[in-house]
């Protein structure tokens, strides 16, 4: 490495100076301050939300419907139900599609073919597309346009699904790659076909990793606001969506946004309460991911 050589030579000459020792203490101290700031930001944020939000939390808060006029009679039932439905439908979409794509890219795709390289580069690029752009895609193709689903749960869930699909694929590929090739070869040597090998040997081994990827993806999707705004999720829904393809729907982030933007403090407190519910759901999902990782991870 030519980059490193010259500076080191100079460094040696200066190494003996008296300031060097002071610097050796001050430098890590400054670095530690950076981390302390990051941690402080997280703590202040959580305390801020908790202080505002805990007073409004109650069983009624979870079961009432939102109100634009009466903060004290407001709740998040329709938003919570909407979010849970969105996540369920989203999971039904991303689990098969994401896993299938990961399997294809790891087990079948020949990297010398241009179309396989295209798929790979494309997934990399999709991961960096802003979420609002997915909202535009959902609006143009799912809500209106070819599919014409309307502003319904199915359209919202598919939009979120497309948004987080790269996460499932990338994490899933890593999990499949981690299954040692001796397993594949052993299975093939015993006469199993490629698919039998994948279905009976590789997938069970990669399952904890794939499940972790799905949970990661859903925990990204559950907090996404921007695409749902564009797709047209409703704030202040007075009823739950009973039909995934017909009824308008709300979601927690949309409800939070509507309350945050209300200048009245009482509504801001409701927003904080809803944020706590959202963070609790996130915590549950992450705990699930950690449990899966520790409980089922194979040591090869």
Partner 1 sequence: MEAASDPPGGGPRPNLTRVRTPRSVGESAIKVLLFVAALISVATTVGIVVSLAAETIEFFSQVGIFEYLLGTKWTPLAGGDQKSFGVLPLISGTLYLTALGLIVAVPLGLGSAVYLAEYASPRARRVIKPVLELLAGIPTIVLGYFALTFITPVLLQGILGIEVQIFNALSAGLALGVLILPVVATLADDSLRAVPASLREGAFGLGASKPQVVLRVVFPAALSGIVAGLVLAASRAIGETVVVLVAGGASANLGIDPRESFQNMAAFIAQTARGDIAAQSVEFLTIFAVGTTLFVMTLILNAISIRFVRRFQQVYE
Q: How far apart are CA 223 and CA 174, in angstroms?
A: 25
Q: Which is nearer to partner 1, 10 or 59 (CB)?
A: 10
Q: Which is nearer to partner 1, 59 or 294 (CB)?
A: 294
Q: How far is the CB of 65 from partner 1 (least distance, A)?
A: 20
Q: Which is nearer to partner 1, 145 or 180 (CB)?
A: 145
Q: How far is the CB of 153 from partner 1 (least distance, A)?
A: 18
- H or E stretch including 16? none
Q: How far apart are CA 230 and CA 37, in angstroms?
A: 34
Q: How far apart are CA 187 and CA 181, in angstroms?
A: 10
Cβ neighbours of 290 (radius 10 Å)? 12
Q: How far is the CB of 280 from partner 1 (least distance, A)?
A: 12
Q: How far is the CB of 266 from partner 1 (least distance, A)?
A: 13
Q: How far is the CB of 147 from partner 1 (least distance, A)?
A: 11
Q: How far apart are CA 265 and CA 15, in angstroms?
A: 58
What angle do helix axes 77-103 and 153-177 make, rounded to 10 degrees? 40
Q: Which is nearer to partner 1, 41 or 92 (CB)?
A: 41
Q: How far apart are CA 286 and CA 291, in angstroms?
A: 8
Q: Which is nearer to partner 1, 81 or 276 (CB)?
A: 276
CB 83 within 8 A of CB 252: yes
């Amino acid at each position: 490495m030519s980059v490193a050589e010259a500076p080191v030579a100079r460094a040696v000459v200066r190494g003996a100076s008296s300031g060097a020792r002071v610097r050796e203490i001050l430098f890590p101290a400054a670095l530690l301050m950076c981390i302390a700031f990051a941690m402080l930001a997280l703590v202040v944020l959580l305390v801020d939300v908790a202080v505002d939000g805990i007073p409004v939390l109650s069983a009624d808060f979870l079961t009432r419907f939102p109100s634009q006029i009466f903060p004290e009679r407001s709740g998040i039932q329709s938003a919570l139900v909407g979010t849970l439905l969105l996540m369920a439908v989203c999971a039904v979409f991303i689990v098969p599609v994401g896993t299938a794509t990961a399997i294809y890219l790891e087990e079948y795709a020949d990297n010398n073919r241009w179309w396989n390289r295209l798929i790979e580069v494309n997934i990399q690029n999709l991961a960096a597309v802003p979420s609002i752009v997915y909202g535009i895609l959902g609006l143009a193709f799912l809500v209106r346009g070819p599919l014409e689903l309307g502003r319904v749960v199915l359209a919202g869930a598919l939009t979120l699904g497309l948004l987080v699909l790269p996460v499932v694929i990338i994490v899933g590929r890593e999990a499949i790659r981690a299954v040692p090739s001796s397993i594949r070869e052993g299975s093939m040597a015993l006469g199993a076909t490629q698919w039998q090998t994948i279905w009976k040997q590789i997938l069970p081994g990669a399952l904890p990793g794939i499940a972790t990827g799905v949970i990661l993806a859903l925990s990204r999707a559950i907090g996404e606001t921007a695409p749902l705004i564009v797709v047209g999720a409703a704030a202040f829904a007075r009823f739950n969506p009973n039909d995934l393809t017909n009824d308008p729907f709300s979601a927690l982030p949309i409800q939070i946004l509507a309350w945050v933007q209300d200048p009245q403090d009482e509504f801001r407190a409701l927003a904080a309460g809803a944020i706590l519910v959202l963070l609790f759901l996130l915590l549950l999902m992450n705990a699930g991911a950690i449990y899966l990782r520790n409980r089922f991870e194979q040591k090869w």
